[in-house]
Chain A
Amino acid sequence: MNDALVLGLITVVSAATPLLLAALGELVVERSGVLNLGVEGMMLAGAVTGFAVTVTTGSATLGIICAMAAGMAMAFTFGVLTLSLMANQVATGLALTIFGIGLSSLVGAGFVGIAIEPLPKLNIPGITTIPVIGPLLFGHDILIYASIALTGGVAWFLKRSRPGMILRAVGESDESAHSIGYDVIRVRYMAVLFGGLMAGLAGAFLSLSYTPLWIENMTAGRGWIALALVVFATWRPWRVLFGAYLFGGVTILQLASQAADWFDVPSQVMSMLPYVATILVLTIISAGPWRTRLNAPACLGKPFRPAS
């Protein structure tokens, strides 16, 4: 393994991390039976809040916390509309994105052109300098480790924990979950808030670590890719990680192949690769002999109101 490859892998991981964080949150939301298409808007709210708070207070930790809170506030709005007022989830999610783009540029107007220090990297003297493994495993910022830990955490939560089982039950059959005494709406609120928290965190990663700056609309469509990755992963956490790294990997590969001048094709065709690759891999997963149950939560997107 040469240095360029190691460096390339590190680039892939950091490109994939915002997608992974946002997608993990949306996965939990969808597993509870709710479809929130407003990820892009919540990410922007997180990005601008994280940046603004970090600049104002000087504390990145506080910035990250406030970014998560901002994502949750957006998600709460979505929850009130769709869970309490039974508004259509798809349309409300899209409206949330329009709202988030406007709100973030309103808040962020005074923060364009300001620079901050990126998040500190995890530097362990003597270890980070070990060839290959050192730079590959260490020396990243804390949110990258957090994203991997969170993947494990979400997987454990959904599969092993009791609240996770309740959440899945609510997503699979809200009526029966209700009839055995679970508060469906409450569970869904929690899930939606968690989705907002994660989208806010993903936004903070963008504006504090990945590219430490604020400019309007800086998410550039990453919220949409995160949504697609949840579907790609057939609603399983480790597959979200795989999907995010695959998408990030193909993106970086196409950039690298342009830089190295490997193929003589228009750059637009190269830029298509990550999207085409995702479709191909999903088709293979869906069609292949190792085909697994598609796993979409049965109640996804359907409103629920307990009949009393």
Chain B
Amino acid sequence: MSDFNFTRRTFLAGSSAAAVTLGAPLAFGAEQVKVGFVYVGPVGDHGWTHGHDLGRKAVEAKFGDKVKTTFVENVAEGPDSERVIRQLASSGHNLIFTTSFGFMNPTIKVAKQFPKVKFEHATGYKTAPNVSVYNARFHQGRAVIGTIAGHMSKSGVAGYIASFPIPEVVMGINAFTLAAQKVNPDFKTKVVWVNSWYDPGKESDATKTLIDQGADMITQHTDSPAPLQVAENRGVWGFGQASDMKAYAPRAQLTAILDDWSEYYINRVQAVMDGSWKSQNIWYGMKEGMVKIAPYGSEITDAAKAAAEKVRKGITDGSMHAFAGPIKNQEGKEMLPAGQSLTDDKMATMDWYVQGVQS
């Protein structure tokens, strides 16, 4: 049966000021904090859900007996998710992470009925006194790997395997292309939409097709390591997605963008323990360590590595921006003049492509 999990991630940076409510500290501190996680996929997807589950395990490792974590996997985005979230809330969980965009409205609904329970929704835009929203600036990582692609591509064409045209994916494609064009102004990105987060066979077919059409850099916004395996086999380069996929492509993986939720999850659990939890809307990036760059592969050239490090450091310290003007869209219209960078709101609702993207 077909699995369409379209909407699971994305986000909007804070337009509404989050209401602030301080939670009461848990009695005597000795009581166990129960933390629930709602996952849209299986923990064995080696992608999005797997990443969040690593965060859950980090919470367990850090707090030991002081926490108890629970997770429910493969929860469909629809009526089922509301029941699962409610079940977690009513069975004594103090903090609940709902890790897909499609869980937004159910999370808000359940949160109203359980004002004492704290909720954390990934990639959405609706907050409430007991609902926080969190997301990662994955596009910052895209700027780093785009820089490498610009340096190392001989054909000047990258193949991009994409899932669904939600703002986060669009941002990723644009950030990657812009960064590559800073090195090679003629750089092109060919995008193939596979309309799935999760179909290794189709991802691998799309990769082969892109390589056949001249792409020698492969990057993806889908979950499986299949595209990298093809890159390894066909002698082109690629980048790991969401986790280090070096095991699947020891030669071809030049680096990987890593999602690291551990620190955030640990901090939020700590906040509930301290009674300092409050609703917020955060969009963390490389500076806060939510997005990381994996160790570079052995095949990367020195020039590419140096340039990538410069971008990584620049974005981390705030001196560089993934979307710095001038930026033109596909039709050549100027979307942002030189000397400016896109605001968070503009980025978060992005539905256009930069020049050089073939989609």
Contact = CB atoms under 8 A, between A and B. Distances in A.
B212 A11 contact: yes
B199 A258 contact: no
A268 B195 contact: yes
A200 interface: no
A105 B195 CA distance: 23
A213 B193 contact: no
Contacts of A220: 2-3, 196, 198-202
Nearest to B244: A113
A211 to B, nearest CB: 4
Contacts of A279: none
A211 B231 CA distance: 12
B228 to A, nearest CB: 10
B244 to A, nearest CB: 10
A11 B209 contact: yes
B224 A260 contact: no
Nearest to B234: A7
Contact of A15 (B1, B196, B205): B205
A259 B202 contact: no
Given A105-B42, A215-B44, A271-B195, A261 B200 contact: no
A112 B210 CA distance: 26
Chain B at the A interface: SS class: mixed
A255 interface: yes
A108 B201 contact: no
A212 interface: yes
A114 B247 contact: yes
A210 B195 contact: no
Contact of B205 (A11, A40, A105): A11
B226 A211 contact: yes
B208 A211 contact: no
B50 interface: yes
A221 B209 contact: no
B212 A8 contact: yes
Interface string B197-218: 0111111111011101101000
A217 to B, nearest CB: 7
Nearest to A108: B44
B307 interface: no
A256 B226 contact: no
Contacts of A222: 201
B129 interface: no
B166 interface: no
A4 B1 CA distance: 33
Contacts of B42: 105, 216-217
Nearest to A261: B358
Nearest to A113: B46
Given A4-B213, A210-B204, A255-B192, A112 B358 contact: no
A215 B202 contact: no
B117 to A, nearest CB: 29
B234 to A, nearest CB: 9
Contacts of A251: 202, 205
A221 B247 contact: no
A211 B44 contact: no
Contacts of B98: none
Contacts of A215: 44-47, 198, 200, 223-224
A255 B233 CA distance: 20
A267 B193 CA distance: 6
B190 interface: yes
A257 to B, nearest CB: 9
B181 interface: no
B209 A18 contact: no
B192 A258 contact: yes
Contacts of B45: 112, 215-216
A268 B165 CA distance: 11
A118 B193 CA distance: 26
Contacts of B50: 112
Contacts of B358: 259, 261
Given A221-B1, A261-B358, A267-B195, A213 B209 contact: no
B23 interface: no
A115 B202 contact: no
A260 B44 contact: no
Interface string B336-359: 000000000000000000000011
Contacts of B247: 113-115
A304 interface: no
A218 B191 CA distance: 23
A210 B233 CA distance: 12
A259 B200 contact: no
B106 interface: no
Interface in A212-266: 212-213, 215-218, 220-222, 224, 251-252, 255-256, 258-261
A213 B190 CA distance: 26
A127 interface: no
Given A112-B44, A213-B226, A258-B193, A15 B209 contact: no
A109 B46 CA distance: 11
A206 interface: yes
Interface of B: 1-3, 42, 44-47, 50, 159, 165, 190-196, 198-206, 208-210, 212-213, 215, 223-226, 229, 233, 247-248, 358-359
Given A11-B212, A206-B201, A220-B198, 7 more contacts: A15-B201, A112-B50, A213-B226, A213-B229, A252-B209, A268-B193, A268-B195
